[in-house]
Amino acid sequence: MLVIGHGAAERAETRSQVIENIGQLVIPSFKTGTLDSLVALSEDLPKLENFFTGTVAKTVDTLRNLLNNDPSKLAQHILIDEKSVDTYLLNGWMWKEGRYDVQKSLRELVDTLNKEMNSIDNALKAKLNNYNLVKGSLTNMQRKKTGNLSARSLADVVSKGDFIQDSEFLETALVAVPRALVKDWNAKYERLTSMVVPRTSKLIAEDDEFALFGLVIFRRVHDDFVQKCREHKFIVREFVYSEEEIAKQQQELEMAGTTEKELWTELLRLARTNFSESFQILVHLKVVRLFVESVLRYGLPAEYIGIVVKPEPNAKKIFNVLQTQFAYLRSKSNAGQNVKPGGDELLGEYQTLMDQEFFDFVFYEVPWIIT
């Protein structure tokens, strides 16, 4: 969580040393602007914060899905400039002045952050959609090679020798017969329709549900044969043997697999980069919001000290300690009013605590959306 108080940095830093897992949060010398501009930002920032948080969360979800929900692998990719989130936040966080010039107005800074986050969000969406299309196509191809003999592709089941070759009048029909009806098939197939060549039924393959038979019929009775088979719950597989077509399908499958792997790698790389970028943008927006709410609460001069606190399991204890350390701010923060810090957008695991009492500091949570 991010906390900001009003007063001398030395005093706040000394007081905050009683809490473990804290880090200094250097608040830049922003241009305060007018009261109207601060109020307008105070109303807009919660909406942007929700969007920013959602973008970071979607990026993490993308990484998690690509890595098959493996926590150890995920931890290797949710880094900020090759550092862990804890290290980034707790080891002397600094505003990126080279990227976000504090001489600009707060509105300009927020617009820049929003523009960058939109760019990140759009880039990930485009890459993810492209990957999903290729992945879906590959999955469909692979699905055709699985399943039972009534539905799966027969390209790798049959061979050239299973078919009658170069006949103008005859053709080989392939029929998937439920295993429970194999005896019925053997007894009836010659009489299903006229012009079925006797004693040509041959078992080609079988699985747990179906047996695949090949037999020779006259081309002219094909449609009638299909209808009679359907009446007896035999499934005619429409398949024309072609070595060229089989080779083409295999090539398409291999190409789809190669493309999917390439796009997976590209998407993983982009999601890793986007996490680093989007998380930093989110934190910068949080700092702007801390500053805006602090000016609205404490007024000028805008001399603020911020800290980052990684909460212990006992969150109530942390809030009590912070209340004690920042009690000197009580007279500045209109403690007599029943107001919650940071408006009504405060969410997360501390909501109950914040509903019950007013704090002498401005507080915002950086949601732990990574696990």
Q: What is the pLDDT of residue 106?
A: 96
CB 41 within 8 A of CB 285: no
Q: What is the pLDDT of residue 371?
A: 53
Q: Which two tokens stand for residue 348?
A: 């997360």
Q: What is the pLDDT of residue 144?
A: 85
If 0-12 CB within 10 Å is exposed, 13-18 middle and 19+ buried, where does residue 36 land? exposed
Kindly report whether the global pTM for this prediction surpasses the value 0.95.
no
Cα 20 from chain centroid?
A: 33
Q: What is the pLDDT of residue 358?
A: 55
Cα 132 from chain centroid?
A: 12
Q: What is the pLDDT of residue 348?
A: 44
CB 213 within 8 A of CB 188: no
| Exposure letters 270-280 (e unless 16+ CB within 10 A, then b) | bbbebbbbbbb
* CATH number of this structure's domain 2-138+259-364, picked from the four choices 3.30.365.10, 3.30.70.20, 3.30.2130.10, 1.20.1460.10: 1.20.1460.10
Return residue ranges of the chain for CATH 1.20.1460.10.
2-138+259-364
Q: Which two tokens stand for residue 220?
A: 């002219």
Return residue ranges of the chain for CATH 3.30.70.100.
160-240
Q: CA-to-CA distance for 233 and 300, rounded, in angstroms? A: 85
| One pLDDT digit (tens) per residue for the chain, 371 residues | 555 555 544 444 444 444 557 788 888 889 998 999 999 999 999 999 999 999 999 999 999 999 999 999 999 999 999 999 989 998 889 999 999 999 999 999 999 999 999 999 999 999 999 999 999 999 999 888 888 999 999 988 999 999 998 899 999 999 999 999 999 999 999 999 999 999 999 999 999 999 999 999 999 999 999 999 999 999 999 998 888 888 998 999 999 999 999 999 999 999 999 999 999 999 999 999 999 988 988 887 777 778 888 876 665 666 677 677 767 666 555 544 444 444 343 334 444 444 444 566 676 777 766 55
- Assigned CATH class of 160-240: alpha beta
CB 323 within 8 A of CB 360: yes
